[in-house]
Amino acid sequence: MSELIRPAKLRLGVNIDHVATIRNARGGDHPDPVRAAEIVAAVGGDGITAHLREDRRHIRDDDLARIQDATGLPLNLEMAATEEMLAIALRHKPHAACIVPERREERTTEGGLDAAGMHNHLAPVVGRLLDAGISVSLFIAPDARQIEAAMRLGAPVVELHTGEYAHACLEEGGGEARAVELRRIADMAALAAKNGIEPHAGHGLTYENVQPIAAIPQLAELNIGHYLIGEAIFCGLEQSIRRMRQLMDDAR
């Protein structure tokens, strides 16, 4: 790959949804995801990621403007491709919108977006976001068919779903599955970059599994949430972000 298109630094976007999950468990204002966003900025995180779900189980509407006002960091708004979410994105104008599939009953975003099968539904959503000056990312499985669909939709960014890789990392004797998943992610990052799409990755990344992903040279950004917030309970958010940042830098 040409040095000209090798991203200078692998950015770390910190997903702060689960600070809001803990807040919502008691219905009050504490802990405030805005305070988490300020810590991300203070320790050199590159962006804030937040998912406004249909059921508002973590981030709420009023959090978005507060997060945007709190730091100068770019906000990556994860959203389903619905009219409601599109209107919210157009009103708040985050730096980026990452379109994710969303099923009400799922615990987290369990699979990638079927960008190929949903072309006609996604095309106007992508177009209206781009027209408003919002970068668009599609959260897809590491699959050539989905990259080709992202190209047809004119998405400037794809985020490759690392959930299967993370899952394989946890399985006893899962070495082969892990290698297969890692290869798929590396190949699809290369395919995206070759076609002018900036590849990102995320989901299920931890201190233990992040380095082989961070070592993929075409990747420009990782979005990590649950593990960082979970570790923060034991060592503080500053420390958990710093440690992840160090592991990512060491892998490059």
Q: List contacts with ligand PXP (CB under 6 A).
A: 15, 17, 51, 78, 98, 100, 108-109, 139, 159, 202-205, 223-227
Smallest distance from the beta carbon of 6 to ligand PXP, in angstroms? 22
Smallest distance from the beta carbon of 226 to ligand PXP, in angstroms? 3
Smallest distance from the beta carbon of 206 to ligand PXP, in angstroms? 8
Q: Torsion-angle region of residue 99: left (phi > 0), alpha (psi -120 to 50) or beta? A: beta
Catalytic residues: 51, 78, 203
Spatial distance between the Cα atoms of 169 and 172, rounded to a whole number of angstroms = 8
CB of 121 closer than 8 Å to CB of 101: no
Of the pair 1, 246, the CB lying nearest ligand PXP is at 246
**DSSP reduced 3-state for 4:** helix
Q: CB-hemisphere CA count at 13 Å for 143?
A: 15
Of the pair 1, 235, the CB lying nearest ligand PXP is at 235
User: Closest by alpha carbon to 122, among 158, 72, 94, 171?
Assistant: 158
Of the pair 63, 78, the CB lying nearest ligand PXP is at 78
